[in-house]
Amino acid sequence: MYRKQAKSWAKHLDFTLLDLLCMVLAIISAYWWRFDGHWIFHDPMWSRLVVVMVLIDVVVVFFTESYTGVLRRNKYQELRATVEHCVIVFGGILVYLYGTKQSFLYSRKLLFVYLILSICLEYGERVLLKRFIRYNKLKDRNKTEMLVVAEGVNVERCLQEISHNRYTNYRVVGVVVVDKDMVGEEIQGVPVVATADTFMEYMRTNVVDEVFLDGNTRASTEELGRELIELGITVHMAMIHIDKMLPNRLIEEYGNYIVVTSSMKIASVKQLFIKRTMDIIGALIGLVIAFVAFLIFAPIIKIQSPGPIFYKSVRIGRNGRRFNFYKFRSMYVDADKKKEELLEYNEMNGLMFKMENDPRIIPIGHFMRKYSIDELPQFWNVLVGDMSLVGTRPPTEEEFAQYEYHHKARLGIKPGLTGMWQVSGRSDITDFEQVVAMDTDYISNWTIGLDITLILKTIGVVITGKGSK
């Protein structure tokens, strides 16, 4: 019987529960300090907040996947992740207090002390827990005994790749070289214990829990795998070796084929569901704001430049899909025709057009563009699924036609209302290759937490008008 490794939330349940304990200890300590040694659970108001805090933390863990890669983080990365986690939970508490109009009832000083204590306690707990886990992995007496079966030319690579991590649930106790007799020799400190002819006899008379079969061997791995399973042995049958340059790999079934799927980013169904839910909620709120803006700016647009209120153009979306893209019109009706005359003034080094004091912009258009009011109709694109709240900005057909191969990577996801470029200076960035680098970095490192961070930064950028032209 094989012990399947825990996945998803259960994999790091220990971190989740201990983080919750640290948060509760932090607020208990802050209350004790603020109210001269009194017990927080004798106060119904603060007791209720403790329950709310725990619920908020559970929601944050579910939405942001805070513990992804937790065991691979160094101390600096862990400190940053801890601060982000605690600040998001703290922000959720503030939203709850202000949303329920209870903020005046709670001590701000106490809440601030709670935030500092929660960061300190959680960081210390995570560092110590990781040390404990690693120590146990090294000393684990319950590790399974594994044999590696491969051809002589591949065996060193196999050993190197499956044994490079000391913190595994198995130990490699022997090697079987199927195409030559090397019994008695050692490869990377691991003894060669059998040949193809003596392998099954060795399995019958020795303690072996698992066998790793290299998929590059010419031996009949499927037949061998069936024989081993009949002996009660767990078999790990490797597919043909795939270089690690291929990112984000997972195994899937297509028909009768078992395939390795790879992409710049692999998102779970849960992540995509959360992202789409955020898009729908955000789009509905945004369309209300867009309607108010329409009532205010539509008459001004009509007076300053007779013509349609909305500007519609075909843009390129995910992996080359075309869709109708909407904005409030901030330029004169013939702006697209005049663009050819102004190309020599383009401030972007690459396949985007940006120009300071663009003469095609109508008077009110400068104000609308500075505060991104002209972008509000795109909430409709988000609602119908052509765009997302956060993503990469969609190119025009003209720009897309000039893309080089690596530029197309930025179209690997739905385009967004905002993104890395928008919160990093927008028009202050004049190199298109830098925009592409930001977009591909966003796609490769995407998380729900990153989207939330970019949305919050966007609000600040829009309010200040930073980087707009």
Judgement on whether residues 366 and 280 belong to the same structural domain of the protein: yes
pLDDT by residue (tens digit) across 279-335? 999 999 999 999 999 999 999 999 998 989 999 999 999 888 999 999 999 888 877
Residue 254 lies in a domain: no
- Of 210-219, 225-234, 238-247, 255-264, the range with the lowest mean pLDDT is 238-247
Q: What is the pLDDT, as a whole number, of residue 432?
A: 80
Query: Over 60: is that where the pLDDT of 207 sits?
Result: yes
Residue 35 lies in a domain: yes
3-state secondary structure 372-410: CHHHCCHHHHHHHCCCEEECECCCEHHHHHCCCHHHHHH
Query: Over 60: is that where the pLDDT of 4 sits?
Result: no
Residue 117 lies in a domain: yes
Judgement on whether residues 444 and 362 belong to the same structural domain of the protein: yes
Judgement on whether residues 379 and 355 belong to the same structural domain of the protein: yes
Q: What is the pLDDT, as a whole number, of residue 467?
A: 57
Contact 146, 2 (CB under 8 A): no
Residue 441 lies in a domain: yes
For 450, the 3-state DSSP assignment is helix
pLDDT by residue (tens digit) across 140-157? 666 788 888 888 888 888
Residue 469 lies in a domain: no
Judgement on whether residues 162 and 118 belong to the same structural domain of the protein: no
Residue 257 lies in a domain: no
Tell whether the torsion through CA atoms of 337, 340, 345 and 351 is positive or negative.
positive
- Provide CB contacts within 8 A for 301, sequence distance 6+: 309, 328, 329, 330, 362, 364
Q: From CA 451, how far away is CA 391, in angstroms rounded?
A: 9
Residue 259 lies in a domain: no
The residue segments making up the domain with residue 226 are 144-241
Boundary residue ending a domain (139, 157, 178): 139
Judgement on whether residues 82 and 154 belong to the same structural domain of the protein: no
Instruction: Please state the domain count of the chain.
Output: 3
Query: Between 273 and 215, where is the model more confident?
Result: 273
Report the predicted TM-score, pTM, of the whole model to 2 decimal places: 0.66
Q: What is the pLDDT, as a whole number, of residue 380?
A: 96
- β-partners of residue 249 are 262
Judgement on whether residues 344 and 448 belong to the same structural domain of the protein: yes
DSSP state of 214: P
Of 251, 256, 261, the residue nearest 222 (C-alpha): 256
State the average pLDDT over residues 37-51. Answer: 89
Judgement on whether residues 77 and 167 belong to the same structural domain of the protein: no
Write the CATH number for 149. 3.40.50.720
Boundary residue ending a domain (109, 139, 169): 139
Judgement on whether residues 120 and 159 belong to the same structural domain of the protein: no
Residue 3 lies in a domain: no
Contact 311, 332 (CB under 8 A): no
- Provide CB contacts within 8 A for 430, sequence distance 6+: 347, 348, 349, 354
Boundary residue ending a domain (89, 104, 139): 139
Judgement on whether residues 452 and 330 belong to the same structural domain of the protein: yes
Judgement on whether residues 326 and 410 belong to the same structural domain of the protein: yes
Judgement on whether residues 444 and 298 belong to the same structural domain of the protein: yes
Judgement on whether residues 204 and 124 belong to the same structural domain of the protein: no
Q: How many degrees, rounded to 5, is the angle at CA 162 between CA 156 and CA 168?
A: 145
Q: What is the pLDDT, as a whole number, of residue 160?
A: 82
